[in-house]
Amino acid sequence: MTGPDGTRPPAGGQPPSFHTMWAELAPVGRHPASGGYRRHAWTGADADCRTWFQEQAEARGLTYETDRNGNQWAWLGDPLGEDAVVTGSHLDSVPDGGAFDGPLGVVSSFAALDELRRRGVGFRRPLAITNFGDEEGARFGLACVGSRLTAGQLTKEAAHRLRDGDGVSLPQAMEAAGYDPEAIGPDPERLARIGAFVELHVEQGRALDLTGDAVGIASAIWPHGRWRYDFHGEANHAGTTRLADRRDPMLTYAETVLAARREAELAGAVATFGKIAVEPNGVNAIPSLVRGWLDSRAADQATLDTVVAGIEAAAHEAAARQGVDLTVVRESFTPVVEFEHALRDELAKILGGRVPVLGTGAGHDAGILSASVPTAMLFVRNPTGVSHSPAEHAAEDDCVAGVLALADVLEGLACG
């Protein structure tokens, strides 16, 4: 039980420190060969992360709940109270992801709450820590499923149609993990009770390293999306089929990858084919199908539209030349996010106006929620800028600076 003012942890010792929490999470879902994380939605590793989150909530006497979309919440104060301040991030990962993308925000949130309790401040607004489900979309192809459902940006019907690479549907995966897939859907009442959402995240670039700052504030997220390219050709023998007789979709795919690079360079944008599926996937067979997923992002919508249209036109041109049938489907899209200026300015004021403000090409639950609630983000320096890789890193001193900055922000917003 928390104390009457909601500020006291349960009796029986200190909650785990940042260092201990980090060490506890470190082995969960880590692949022994790559050293990267494979914490994909509704898998065993995801369940272990969720158990860890619940234990952290309980160790601090917070009120624990999962919402209808499987997002986890740990409340200090009344979960049904108005004008709540919410912080948190996600615990899932991309395939062979780093330790920091997501977990840094969740661990820092618990550590920031511990810091506020040490300071002995009183809370005038409810405070919650969250773990949003399936942020990376590594398994079902769509990012930010938990926050999109909650914000009404993904319908239950569309979510039910999602399938993983083995053909397992999202509802089947949720059910196997002990969650009710029939309950999923928009949660406007919950969002209406949130007065501010602040997500701390490792920076996924080197801007802070270049300015020499440990912590920054987000200004905006680039518009971004995912497009599935299906190149249908003709399976045939790799040794006996004359080059002139082939309808080889791998060739068309390869030309499309080069076109993506060219269009992105011309526009100052980014375009990536990072995932591919080949059928029948035999060394000595010309493929019948190459399926590639394009991820493209740009600073503004018009530039992104130009890049995506340029890639698609080049792909169709190559397909026609090579006798390949091509279909392109947009699987997801997130428009540009400009974080609310009032909240952003409040963060800058709380942090003493000494903090750089920077944009990012990475997507976040904060970006999804920003359409419904005032939202802000803090970034923690990443000295190499590497992310979505086992090499992703942040120095412990910078992580501590992030915790203290988050504690300052939460104190400024929720206390006093």
Binding site for Mn ion (CB under 5 A): 101-102
- Closer to ligand GLV at the Cβ: 64 or 293? 293
> Annotated binding residue at 201?
yes
- Closer to Mn ion at the Cβ: 97 or 195? 97
- Closer to ligand GLV at the Cβ: 137 or 195? 137
Structure tokens of 117?
């309790």
Residues binding ligand GLV: number (CB under 6 A): 4
226: three-class secondary structure by DSSP: strand
CB 11, min distance to Mn ion, A: 35
Residue in 233, 221, 204, 200 with CA at minimum distance from that of residue 323: 233
Q: Is the dihedral of CA 257, 260, 264, 265 positive or negative?
A: positive
Q: How many beta carbons lie within 10 A of that of residue 261, not counting itself? A: 15
d(CA 76, CA 98): 29
Residue 222 to residues 198, 202, 333, Cα–Cα distance (Å) = 18, 17, 11
d(CA 279, CA 13): 57
Q: For residue 46, which phi and psi values (nearest 5 degrees)? A: -65, -40
- Closer to ligand GLV at the Cβ: 143 or 406? 143
CB 337, min distance to ligand GLV, A: 12
User: Is 143 an interacting residue with respect to ligand GLV (CB under 6 A)?
Assistant: yes
CB 230, min distance to ligand GLV, A: 22
Q: Are 122 and 25 in contact (CB under 8 A)?
A: no
d(CA 125, CA 75): 11
> Annotated binding residue at 242?
no
Q: Are 107 and 380 in contact (CB under 8 A)?
A: no
> Annotated binding residue at 90?
yes
Residue type, 25: L
Residue 143 contacts which entry, ligand GLV, Mn ion, none (Cβ below 5-8 A, type-dependent): ligand GLV
d(CA 390, CA 382): 13
> Annotated binding residue at 31?
no
393: three-class secondary structure by DSSP: coil
Residue 292 contacts which entry, ligand GLV, Mn ion, none (Cβ below 5-8 A, type-dependent): none
User: Is 363 an interacting residue with respect to ligand GLV (CB under 6 A)?
Assistant: yes
Residue 102 contacts which entry, Mn ion, ligand GLV, none (Cβ below 5-8 A, type-dependent): Mn ion
Q: Are 63 and 117 in contact (CB under 8 A)?
A: no
Residue type, 276: I
CB 6, min distance to Mn ion, A: 29
- Closer to Mn ion at the Cβ: 88 or 102? 102
d(CA 403, CA 400): 5
CB 363, min distance to ligand GLV, A: 4
> Annotated binding residue at 364?
no
Q: Are 115 and 35 in contact (CB under 8 A)?
A: no
SS3 content of the chain, % helix, strand, coil (to 5): 35, 25, 40
Question: What Rg, from alpha-carbon coordinates, does the chain have?
Answer: 23
CB 368, min distance to ligand GLV, A: 11
Structure tokens of 184?
């999923």
CB 28, min distance to Mn ion, A: 16
Residue 16 contacts which entry, Mn ion, ligand GLV, none (Cβ below 5-8 A, type-dependent): none
Residue 114 contacts which entry, Mn ion, ligand GLV, none (Cβ below 5-8 A, type-dependent): none
- Closer to ligand GLV at the Cβ: 38 or 232? 38
Binding positions for ligand GLV, 118-137, rule CB under 6 A: 136
CB 285, min distance to ligand GLV, A: 33
Structure tokens of 244?
């002139």
Residue 363 contacts which entry, Mn ion, ligand GLV, none (Cβ below 5-8 A, type-dependent): ligand GLV
User: Is 269 an interacting residue with respect to ligand GLV (CB under 6 A)?
Assistant: no
User: Is 362 an interacting residue with respect to ligand GLV (CB under 6 A)?
Assistant: yes
- Closer to Mn ion at the Cβ: 123 or 132? 132
- Closer to Mn ion at the Cβ: 102 or 367? 102
> Annotated binding residue at 166?
no
Residue 385 to residues 20, 231, 389, Cα–Cα distance (Å) = 25, 34, 10
Q: Would you list which residues are annotated within the binding site for allantoate?
A: 226, 284, 297
Q: Would you list which residues are annotated within the binding site for Zn(2+)?
A: 90, 101, 136, 201, 388
**Chain positions contacting ligand GLV, by CB under 6 A:** 136, 143, 362-363
Q: Would you list which residues are annotated within the binding site?
A: 90, 101, 136, 201, 226, 284, 297, 388
